Structure 1
Amino acid sequence: MIDALCAPELAPIVDLVVWADEDGEPYAANHLGSVRFRYQGGAEVLSGTNPLGSEDPMAFLPYQQELANPSPRVSTENAYPLAWQRLRSFFADPERSPDLAIVHTPRHFFPDEGGHVGEHGSLDAIQSRAPLIMSGAGVKKMGYVDAFARLVDVGPTLAFLAGVPAMDLVDANGQGLDGRVLRDHLEPGGGQRRHVIGMLWDGAHCGDLLHLAETGELPGVARLIANGLALRGGAVAEFPSITLTNHTSILTGTGPGRHGVMGNVYFDRATGERVVPNDQSTWHLSADWLRPSARTIFEMVAKHAPGGDGTVRTASVDEAIDRGADYATMALIRESGESGADALDDALPDPTTSPYLRDAAYLEDSYFRWGVRVDDFGITQMSALFSNPGSAPLLTWWASVVTDCGHHGGGPRSDMARDALRQSDARLVTFLDHLDSIGLSDQVTILLTADHGFEGSDPEVIGSWKAALDATGIPYRDEGPGLVYLL
């Protein structure tokens, strides 16, 4: 099957095929050759020539280098950071990990199978690079820093800042997390309790976000960086670089092989069920698919924060992975007894009257229209949670979605994507001004990130690998598409 997928005629759409052996060691192959990944980086060539350009997490920096080579045409011109760690985790779940995964080329356009103008999901650097900005109390003022982190580092850092001792940054079995506290960017005493806010702008393109902040087009983001730092290399997403896998990785500090959410769609061999957690009808139940050993940062903080008197210690705004939060938007859906987003439809504002909307023409895109409504509801919830300093949560996670809508609809650096970034920035400015007005700004730490990056597809690069899989005669199911389970 791997040989069939590595046929030269599939090279325009198949970037890599990845899998793991019985010991969990990861491999990759394409039409050029095959390699085995090593823990310290560097791939051992097994056949042909090395199909990988590099494994450098800082590839395509400074930003001008990315602009000069957008959506690389061949894998030897691309970079695949931290491949060993990410793939080893991805293939570690014996019941939910696929037997192999097919990585789309950056330019592959597959609208008939759920693809978009802007795409993510790859192992490569740009689709895996999320922004990482830290600001406020306990954070060093370093400005733009030539460094990178991992998205699994975000959760432990937020929990530590909210007062969880380093020794208790463990899963439910007492095992250490995959992520680490980003101590190099914190002031001494960074673990002292304060109000901690994690913000996720879904799919926000790291390079363009930082570029727009530097050129004055995102004043809210620039304000955060002036009071803290931004990592040029951002934070490397877990594989696949898609939504629910990385929301869960952030909020548990573990990779998919431990938390169990292998993708937005995957197969569970133990139950024989196709799992679709990233859907409006199911995402309020997403935490149900977490492995028993997984522990969210809301649960970590609750163990160390007094409560039980109705106090909102932790809050989860517009986030699917909300287990353990005292306040959660998804809990409102669960309590309603209705299915999915329909339960809150009446609560979502009219997007045509949004004070944050820039170009009303984008409302013709149904996903973008919905994203404006959700994010306007998000700022309303945040304002209520921070109505006064005495009732503000200790730890808050605030997810926004319109940035994903804009990047899917138009691709990175498009007018649509930048409209979404400017929109989100305007909401951020509103919230920062609100913190100033209640005198809480000096007591708040903010971390802004995303769940993945984005690259632009090419409408002329189309095709499917289904015929090649079918021709092998091996029974299989292809979820995603790209996650192949042998039957």
Structure 2
Amino acid sequence: MSGPELRTETEPRPETRTEARERAVQALVSADLAAIVDLVVWVEVVDDVRVAHAANHLGRVRLRPGGRHELLAGTDPVSNEDPMAFLPYALEVEQAGPRRSSDNAYPYAAERILSLFDDPSRSPDLAVVHTPRHFFPDENGHVGEHGSLDVVQSRAPLVLSGAGVRTAGYVDDHARLVDVGPTMAALAGVPTQDLRDAVGEPLDGSPLQAYLLPDELPRAVVGILWDGAHCGDLLHLAESGDLPNVARLIGGGVALRGGAVAQFPSVTLTNHTSILTGLGPGRHGVLGNVFYDRETTERVVPNDATTWHRSSEWLRPAVRTVFEMVADHVVPQGFPRTASIDEAIDRGADYSTMAVIRASGAASGAGGLGDRLPSADDSPFVTQRSHLADAYFRWGVSVDDLGLAQARELFSDATSLPRLTWWANVVTDAGHHGGGPRSEMARDSLRQADARLGVFLDQLEGLGVLDEVAFVLTADHGFEGSDPSVTGSWRPALDGLGVPYRDEGPGFVYLL
């Protein structure tokens, strides 16, 4: 992540923050920035109701939950909210980005924007959404990108399989990532009435009951996250035989063609937290991979190797994780009730990789795991050694090999299965960042993840417990390819306002 962007005042400050925000919006929606600014979004109170707003060079709209749009100027920049846009997959490939907002879709726009701006001290004054084409390597951008409100960057795969799951194959449907945690908790035996936060409020997500068998609970639930896995390509490769173990899961369950819609921003820690709490970012508090807290005056960077083991510290007090929900309904029996493998949001898990890191006391956090990680050069899952030249990809191979070893150890005894296990994988994110969606690097990362999955499934089958386990395979966001010829920054436009601000991310603008 880039360093903190604190700008100083060069002219008298506007009378109110609202006026300053309006000046910033006007500057950011200039046609001169249209190549890099897809949308500017914020929330205002209208008739005592908080209402989402979106604007770009085309126009401005007021958005209300349920899809009601009130055009304020020009043409509606988010006129399409279809979560099934660009399907079937051949259509996505044919119309592959980078695309303009008028050709794009923004599912659950109001709901997701409102959630982002629902935290009184951590929410920005406005958020700037990169265009899919924006390439910004100077600010940690990549060939493959995510973070947007748009449908392809927000579409994570979702496969449910095994005990307690209906067998339906591929279906033309979608869900939301906030539904994934409640679904896993329900499969693990948590009653519907207990799917609530710590103060008794309902979750933002709900179990996907249409795909669950009402009278059958699995003995164990395994949630698997392939970070950044591209939904359409994953399903395409499974159908074509390139991901045989994903196909194996789908054969015993269901795959949603529309995947699961991520929370906004469609970035890693925001959506890991939304999955594992059933809450949007405005309630769980992890607003992005980097954000600013006005109350503590702290710049928070949870998505970093040195801080992953601390990520649960930033959860808001009312949050309950799925590990905590499940633990309330499972009697301890001398082995882990719940397990969290390579996951930052691990609070309440009986076994946790991050707990091991915390216990070590290493100031470098996960960055200090180097001596414990297996060598990527020796990994049996790497088929294209050239990809190891990418440092993130190389590290992801080692982390995921260690993750598989942890999963196999947790499931080494058929008599002592954890009720809920969550297993995060990272090489898929590295492959999609390094090469972009549908690239050979991205597909190599998916094949690797599939091969590790196969080793795990074979172990469960060898133990005779495979048919007693439910599986949930998902990701935290989607991906689109950027255009290396489209560069630039919106910060000069903000600098010209003469208003002190922070731009974290970049994209979260805090007016000071």
Which residue in 2 is equivalent to 1:337?
361
Which residue in 1 is equivalent to 2:76?
50
- Residues 1:21 and 2:47 aligned together: no
Partners of 2:98 and 2:481 within 8 A in 1: no
Task: State how far apart, in whole Å, the 1-side matches of 2:42 and 2:98 are.
Answer: 22
Partners of 1:351 and 1:369 within 8 A in 2: yes
Partner secondary structure for residue 470 of structure 2: strand
Task: State how far apart, in whole Å, the 2-side matches of 1:360 and 1:24 are.
Answer: 52
Which residue in 2 is equivalent to 1:187?
213
Which residue in 2 is equivalent to 1:241?
266
- Residues 1:172 and 2:195 aligned together: no
Task: State how far apart, in whole Å, the 2-side matches of 1:63 and 1:310 are.
Answer: 47
Partners of 2:218 and 2:468 within 8 A in 1: no
Partners of 1:42 and 1:55 within 8 A in 2: no
Partner secondary structure for residue 306 of structure 2: coil
- Tell me which of 24, 29, 33 is aligned to 1:6: 29
- Rate the CA distance shift 1:277–1:178 in 2: closer, same or farther, 3 A: same
Which residue in 1 is equivalent to 2:14?
none
Structure 2 unaligned segments of length 5 or more: list them. Answer: 1-23
Task: State how far apart, in whole Å, the 1-side matches of 2:500 and 2:99 are.
Answer: 31
Which residue in 2 is equivalent to 1:364?
389
Task: State how far apart, in whole Å, the 2-side matches of 1:303 and 1:58 are.
Answer: 37
Amino acid at match of 1:148: H
- What is the count of residue pairs matched by the alignment? 485
Task: State how far apart, in whole Å, the 2-side matches of 1:57 and 1:283 are.
Answer: 31
Q: What is the root-mean-square deviation of aligned Cα atoms in Å?
A: 0.9
Task: State how far apart, in whole Å, the 2-side matches of 1:53 and 1:108 are.
Answer: 21
Q: Taking structure 1 as the reference length, what is the TM-score of the superposition?
A: 0.99
Which residue in 2 is equivalent to 1:205?
230
Partner secondary structure for residue 255 of structure 2: strand
Partners of 1:53 and 1:77 within 8 A in 2: no
Superposed, 1:304-315 pairs within 5 Å as 304-307=329-332, 310-315=334-339
- Residues 1:446 and 2:462 aligned together: no
Amino acid at match of 1:299: E
Superposed, 1:123-142 pairs within 5 Å as 123-142=149-168
- Residues 1:328 and 2:352 aligned together: yes
Amino acid at match of 1:480: G
- Residues 1:37 and 2:63 aligned together: yes
Amino acid at match of 2:153: Q
Task: State how far apart, in whole Å, the 2-side matches of 1:374 and 1:189 are.
Answer: 37
Task: State how far apart, in whole Å, the 2-side matches of 1:50 and 1:296 are.
Answer: 38
- Tell me which of 116, 123, 140 is aligned to 1:90: 116
Partner secondary structure for residue 113 of structure 2: helix
Which residue in 1 is equivalent to 2:128?
102
Q: Taking structure 2 as the reference length, what is the TM-score of the superposition?
A: 0.94
- Rate the CA distance shift 1:72–1:364 in 2: closer, same or farther, 3 A: closer
Deviation of residue 230 (structure 1)?
A: 0.1
Amino acid at match of 2:282: G
Dislocated runs of 4+, deviation >4 Å: none
Partners of 1:52 and 1:77 within 8 A in 2: no
- Residues 1:389 and 2:448 aligned together: no
Moved more, 122-131 or 85-94: 85-94
Amino acid at match of 1:369: R
Task: State how far apart, in whole Å, the 1-side matches of 2:68 and 2:29 are.
Answer: 21
Partners of 1:24 and 1:92 within 8 A in 2: no
Task: State how far apart, in whole Å, the 1-side matches of 2:389 and 2:79 are.
Answer: 40
- Residues 1:214 and 2:239 aligned together: yes
Task: State how far apart, in whole Å, the 2-side matches of 1:398 and 1:208 are.
Answer: 21
Task: State how far apart, in whole Å, the 2-side matches of 1:52 and 1:394 are.
Answer: 42
Which residue in 2 is equivalent to 1:467?
492
Task: State how far apart, in whole Å, the 1-side matches of 2:465 and 2:63 are.
Answer: 47
Partners of 1:336 and 1:343 within 8 A in 2: no
Which residue in 2 is equivalent to 1:70?
96
Deviation of residue 187 (structure 1)?
A: 1.3
